[in-house]
Structure 1
Amino acid sequence: MGAIEVGTASWTDRTLLASGWYPASADSPEKRLAYYAKQFPVVEVDSTYYGPPAEQTTKLWAERTPSNFTFNIKAFSLLTGHPTKVSAIYKDLRPETDKKNIYPDDLPPQAYEEVWSRFLSALTPLAEAGKLGALLFQFPPWFGIRKSNKEYLLEVAARCTPLRPVFELRNASWFEGANRNETLDFLRNHKLPFVCVDMPQGHKSSVPPIVEATADIAVVRFHGHSDKWTSKDIHEKFGYRYSPAELEAWAPQLKTLADKTDKTQVFLNNCYEDYAQRNASALIELLAD
């Protein structure tokens, strides 16, 4: 069985800081990251979706964690075709526009290329320290199955080489009927890692929890099952605590998945108070049995 790493999608959420999960002695960003890294071997950095990281920041992350710790990085929103705040773009690359949000086509091609270059370059300290895991490319709900989108997945993989992108598809058309096997076969044929998601069902953005490996690494993300999934309040959306029974049902599935990969990464993204951290710790215990 391949290794299974379990972590969470945040270590700095304000509700987590207020929850009491961190000891009083962890009273600075440096100490909190150090404490987190003693509990879990991996973390997913989601803040990089909202704004690209500075190289100095990733250098500090590398310096403040043990040698065997891993950071997965969520791709900047502009690189996955999501609406992106103009204020989140590098200052010298911001277009002159009255729009609050822009898309890739709103940038000149040269500026778009520069965003890619700077985003990947900022991860160099983590890569050089051996602490950079996968790059999460989570695509928007309107990114459905079609030839041009498959080609973009290949383009992302090429742009990221030698770094490893993993792909979270949030449009159900990829998995409807015969499309499911077509999608998984496409990913396997090109050695593109698939991200399985556990999330509320019955919504436009819902995709089924397909536990499959398509490359030598697999990623599973737990979004919870909040009945307020469509809320604009991120804590209402992700404020869900998995029950022991739910986690127990997942443990054998994760072990089976790990049998098919060199490494399986599992992230609890139910980031409200200490829900994710408590659930991640419980899952680690279940996987150890």
Structure 2
Amino acid sequence: MAELWLGTSGWTYASWRGRFYPETLPSRDYLTFYAREFPTTEINYSFYHLPKPQTFVKWSQQVPPAFLFAVKASRFITHIKQLREVEEPWQTFVHNAAALGSHLGPILLQFPPSLKCDIPRLQAFLEMAGKAHPQPLRLACEFRHESWFAENVYRILERHNVALCIADSPKYPRRDLLTADFAYIRFHGRTALFASRYTKEELRREAQAIRRYLKDGHDVFVYFNNDAMGYAVENARMLRALLSRHVSLH
């Protein structure tokens, strides 16, 4: 049976104190508190700084057995090197993230809007990336330049079972298309990037698509990245309520 994993992008935000986290809760206990309500989170910190293996281990010890972390790949790989000559940094990244053990979920590759479609570069990277770990990795690509949304790109993603990230925002292109055996969805905010809440009607339409993906046998990972003012938590709860009568939730 296909499974739904619903959470937020990150869990440590000052604006969530008093809105989600109790005022008196120490920040060191945020993850444990978060994991009591949500079964997954997306680690954004790893985009800016690569955590050491022991940091990943520490996080894994603060969550329930079935909890999954999606991990955002280092910007050194996607933004600075832009997939060129990245075998060593990729292997280091995967090695460190693998310290999560059974808590390791998908790995997200978010590309800069300045990076245009380059088929040979993408193909070479995906062929290399799949060999970095003894177990198959679930990879998702979030493209932010229009040129990537093309049939030849979709075919490459399908060949490697890599998900095209369905990313909703007021700034970047969106395509609702599945290219892997799972769906990866990010909600950045509909009207203001990272800083707007979704309405119930907007999420009702999203819930219809998610139910369809699940019915067709695709696991679905959903992360709200509109973290300002606790909107991500509010909207994750709203979407969960819309889905709860129709699908099995973690």
Q: Give the structure-1-normalised TM-score.
A: 0.77
Tell me which amino acid in the other structure corresponds to 1:38. Answer: R
| Partner residue, 1:60 | 58
Matches within 5 A, 1:260-275: 260-275=216-231
Unaligned runs of 5+ residues in structure 1 are 84-102, 228-236
Q: CA deviation at 1:113?
A: 4.6
| Partner residue, 1:96 | none
Partner of 1:252, secondary structure, is helix
Matches within 5 A, 1:107-146: 113-127=87-101, 130-146=102-118
Post-superposition Cα deviations, 1:41-65, rounded to whole Å, max 9, x if no partner, equal 0000001000101111111111111
Tell me which amino acid in the other structure corresponds to 2:140. Answer: V
User: Aligned residues: percent identity?
Assistant: 31
| Partner residue, 1:230 | none
Post-superposition Cα deviations, 1:207-245, rounded to whole Å, max 9, x if no partner, equal 12x222211121000111234xxxxxxxxx411111111
| Partner residue, 1:219 | 184
8 Å Cα contact 2:90/2:129 also seen in 1: no
Matches within 5 A, 1:180-259: 181-200=151-170, 203=171, 206-208=172-174, 210-227=175-192, 237-259=193-215
How many corresponding residue pairs?
243
Judging changes above 3 Å, is the alpha-carbon distance between structure 1 residues 261 and 211 closer, same or farther for their aligned structure 2 residues? farther
CA distance in 2, matches of 1:105, 1:136: 14
8 Å Cα contact 1:213/1:261 also seen in 2: no
Partner of 1:273, secondary structure, is helix
Q: Give the structure-2-normalised TM-score.
A: 0.88
CA distance in 2, matches of 1:164, 1:23: 34
Partner of 1:26, secondary structure, is coil
Q: CA deviation at 1:124?
A: 2.8
| Partner residue, 2:248 | none
8 Å Cα contact 2:183/2:221 also seen in 1: yes
Aligned with residue 280 of structure 1, among 209, 231, 236 = 236
| Partner residue, 2:6 | 6
| Partner residue, 1:167 | 141
